[in-house]
Amino acid sequence: MDQGVGQRTREGRLGETVASEGFQVLPRRWVVERTFSWIDKNRRMSKDYERLPESSEAFIYVAMSRLMVRRLTRS
């Protein structure tokens, strides 16, 4: 049985063979990483200073609203 380069097989719970193909890029992970980067540009959001999760959520809304307003004024 030819498995190809970088492919390994392992036995599953029920005895089926599962092929793993090594490193897989998650399809939309870059969108999340980019959004976190935008939020971290605000000094208050770069660290977790807030005691309540509600205030952290409010500051995220403020940060993203600020980003949207800047984009709208540029257009």
Q: Which two tokens stand for residue 19?
A: 């092929």
Residue 18: pLDDT band with limits 50, 70, 90: low
> Looking at this protein, which amino acid is placed at residue 66?
R
Element (H, E) at 19: strand 17-20
Residue 10: pLDDT band with limits 50, 70, 90: low
Q: Tell me what pLDDT residue 65 has.
A: 93
Q: Tell me what pLDDT residue 33 has.
A: 86
The model's pTM = 0.54
CB under 8 Å to 74, separation ≥6 — which residues? none
pLDDT digits (tens, 9 = 90+) for 20-71: 677 777 778 888 888 888 888 887 777 777 788 898 888 889 989 999 999 9
Q: Is residue 45 within 8 Å of 63, Cβ to Cβ?
A: yes
